[in-house]
Chain A
């Protein structure tokens, strides 16, 4: 066990895969000499060379497109998009080429590429440096989406993504990169993509969350337990496509109440899909309407976005209390 930040854990995961699998290459803007603007790949070009840790031109679509070609041939490219606000230029290449090749080519080819997307807000980054891109990708098919938010998950889940035979989008928690440090056991088995984790068991209401908001939600749960005697079960979704319906349903069967929390804007946000699935599979257990605490359908503003766009603790708390008080 070693203590690492989220950033160090991601770096260690990439180093491990570069070392053990000659098919793995990294591509991205500025990732080489300085290790990317966040320094996630720091030191890797020196260690593995310029042919495996590749500085690309400033062209997100081009990066994704060439990685698709490399993956078709049998390599495992790991692409860094500098900020997930700039990922949309890749959508045709990732969603309509990379994520479809297996199907349109009759299962004869695959595209085992990983896209690392530094995501989520909290650094006063404004509209494109505070972005949650998951819905744009979740609506397609053929790409998995994960959102690790601890050093251990960052390490293990990035390795799982790189080894996965299909495209995987990794939503990395920018605001936690350097601020969250924790134990990482590099010998743990590589996790299966698609498993959620109960972060805090509780009996009264289920709070389902992913990304950096997971930590805020646990804090809110602790204070609600002390102040209002509300026992919140917090589930960290960790994987969006596929998502762990069994863990969610058994929690809802126990609590009868569900609040979904995410930073992405509300309409067609991932919470909508979860709410639809839960009501169809656990309708009889629900004691209150499923609530969503998420960003409004507006862009993230530089000055007020971190406070009022991303759900803050006041809003998470209000959502949980409202659900607890809902009467039928």
Chain B
């Protein structure tokens, strides 16, 4: 999907703001690691095992490698669209790892890690990027908007923020029906401006369903910085007005994210819903249709680079003696190979035909759809396009 192409600069981006993570105590942000990966924060190290830390690290690295490859596939015209993750890998990995597999996750648009952490394949992920007939959503959704019932991952509806009340409603239903699942939703700082955010918080405060709402505050919503989005850029504190427990956490610190999410999850009977604000930064483009040079100083990204979640985690693991350059090199090679296999497999898959769009409109089709389908199939030669 292409929306614009020009590079002409017209705006006057605001001056870069200091990285909030460097002022964690002052800003009430829970943190374990400093920018150099030392345990130096305001909450204690959860002391995960080497195996658990490797899982975090390797998944963050894999997500970054996928992001890099996806971007290149888009730029070379092999897929039509891409939604970058660069710099936000920690939230999706650590938060997902703090849940049980039966818990439901409603996603926003950048969380590819959930798919892999819950055991779905890289091949099917790339099949989704290519819009293949074989992937669970059958080529219906833009690349990156993966989801699948077998792993309790609900793809975003695309209207950002719109699914917040759906997550609250699903959790509420689980409570009413005695289900064991808890529900978690990822949404962005921009999405918190929509009415649905306020509605979801209000209902959640009243009915106390087992829901965790993770506001991934990455500083931007397309070209809009926080100060244009809200006068109170502490998103967690918005929970106070609705009686929803809330926590602010370093979104580039997997240890703090894991601690905070696990606590909210394991104590949900006691706490009720929690609003977690994960403070992070979108280092990359909004999407492949975007061009940050038009509205953001590169210097702002430079300020954030030391706080890169992968860098901090690697330093932590190196300090523990769990990681070194040879392991790093081997991991990168392994990921490249796995991704290449997935690309090759996706490229060999089928493209959906015109008939497939008529499936799943209702549980059962009806004469109206059948008549329209028959006519379209008789009028188009499959695979032919006129522009």
Contact yes or no, A30 B369, CB < 8 A: no
| Interchain CB contact (< 8 A) of A33 among B4, B160, B191, B295 | B295
Instruction: Say yes or no: is A74 at the interface (Cβ < 8 Å to chain B).
Output: no
List residues of chain B with CB within 8 A of the CB of A59.
Answer: 193-195
Asked whether, in the complex, the Cβ of B1 is within 8 Å of the Cβ of A266, the reply is no
The proximity string for B residues 1-37 relative to A, scoring 1 for CB distances below 8 Å and 0 otherwise, is: 1111110101111000000000000000000000000
- Given known A-B contacts A267-B368, A297-B372, A304 and B353 have beta carbons under 8 A apart: yes
Which residues of A sit under 8 angstroms from B354, Cβ to Cβ?
304, 307-308
Contacting residues, chain A, for B379 (C-beta < 8 A): 314-315, 318-319
Closest Cβ of chain B: how far from A119's Cβ, in Å? 13
Do A301 and B140 touch across chains, with their CB atoms under 8 A apart?
yes
The answer to whether A61 touches B195 (Cβ under 8 A) is yes
- Whether B221 lies near A298 (C-beta < 8 A) is no
Enumerate A60-92 residues with CB–CB distance to B below 8 Å.
60-62, 85-86, 89
Question: What B residues does A233 contact at CB under 8 A?
Answer: none
Docked CA distance A178–B143 (Å): 24
B158 in contact with A124 (CB, 8 Å)? no
User: Are B190 and A308 closer than 8 Å at their CB atoms?
Assistant: no
Task: Name A285-320 residues within 8 Å CB distance of B.
Answer: 296-299, 301-309, 312-315, 318-319
Question: In the complex, what residue of chain A is closest to B358 when comparing beta carbons?
Answer: A298
Whole-angstrom distance between the alpha carbons of A56 and B227 in the complex?
Answer: 11
Inter-chain contact B191/A58, CB cutoff 8 Å: yes
Partner of B4, one of A39, A56, A314: A39
From B4, B10, B139, B353, give the contact of A43 (CB < 8 A).
Answer: B10
Would A302 and B139 count as touching, CB distance under 8 A?
yes
With an 8 A cutoff between CB atoms, is A182 at the interface? no
Contact B160–A304 (Cβ < 8 Å): no
Cβ contacts B372-384/A at 8 Å (1 or 0 each): 1100101111001
Closest to B159 in A: A86
Task: Provide the bound-state CA to CA distance between A128 and B159, in Å.
Answer: 8
Across the interface, A46 reaches (CB within 8 A) one of B11, B143, B386, namely B11
The A contact surface, by secondary structure, is loop
Q: What's the minimum C-beta distance from B17 to chain A, rounded to whole angstroms?
A: 15
Residues of A within 8 A of B378 (CB): 318
A326 at the interface (CB under 8 A from B): no
Q: B194 to chain A: which residues have CB within 8 Å?
A: 58-61, 89
Q: What separation, in Å, do the CA atoms of A56 and B353 have in the docked complex? A: 40
User: Would you call B142 an interface residue if the criterion is a C-beta within 8 Å of the partner chain's C-beta atoms?
Assistant: yes
Interface of B toward A, CB cutoff 8 Å: 1-6, 8, 10-13, 80-81, 131, 138-143, 158-161, 190-191, 193-195, 221-224, 228-230, 289-291, 294-295, 351-354, 356-358, 361, 368-369, 372-373, 376, 378-381, 384-387
* A163 at the binding interface (Cβ < 8 Å): no
Q: Are B6 and A39 interface neighbours, CB within 8 A?
A: yes
Per the bound structure, the CA–CA distance linking A186 and B95 in Å amounts to 56
- Chain A residues with CB below 8 A from B131, complex form: 302-303
Report A-chain residues with C-beta under 8 Å of the C-beta of B369.
296-298
Evaluate contact between A38 and B356: CB separation under 8 angstroms: no
Q: Are A314 and B80 in contact (CB under 8 A)?
A: no
- Contact partners of B142 in chain A: CB under 8 A: 125-126, 129, 302
Is A30 within 8 A of B139, CB to CB? no
| Contact residues of A between 1 and 59, Cβ < 8 Å to B | 29-30, 32-35, 37-39, 42-43, 45-46, 55-59
With A85-B158, A302-B80, A314-B379 given, can you name 11 additional A-B contacts, CB distance below 8 Å?
A: A33-B11, A35-B11, A42-B8, A57-B224, A61-B194, A62-B195, A85-B159, A125-B1, A127-B141, A298-B369, A301-B140
Shortest beta-carbon contacts, A-B, top 5: A303-B139, A303-B131, A33-B11, A308-B354, A57-B193
A60 CA / B221 CA spacing, docked (Å): 14
A30 pairs with B140, CB closer than 8 A:
no
B3 contact set on A, CB distance < 8 A:
37-38, 123
- Given A30-B224, A86-B159, A298-B369, is A126 in contact with B141 using a C-beta cutoff of 8 Å? yes
Tell yes or no: A216 within 8 A of B by CB. yes
Bound-state CA distance A42–B5 (Å) is: 13
Interface contact B80-A124, CB-CB below 8 Å: yes
A294 to B158 alpha-carbon distance, docked (Å): 24
| Nearest B residue (CB) for A128 | B158
Given contacts A33-B295, A38-B4, A85-B158, is CB(A308)–CB(B380) below 8 Å?
yes
- A58 with B190: CB separation less than 8 A: yes
Name the B residues within 8 Å of A319 (CB-CB).
379
Provide 10 A-B residue pairs closer than 8 Å at the C-beta atoms, listed in order of the A residue: A29-B221, A29-B222, A34-B294, A39-B4, A46-B12, A59-B193, A62-B193, A85-B158, A296-B357, A299-B357
In the complex, the answer to whether A33 meets B294 with C-beta atoms within 8 Å is yes
Q: Which residue of B lies closest to A179 (CB)?
A: B387
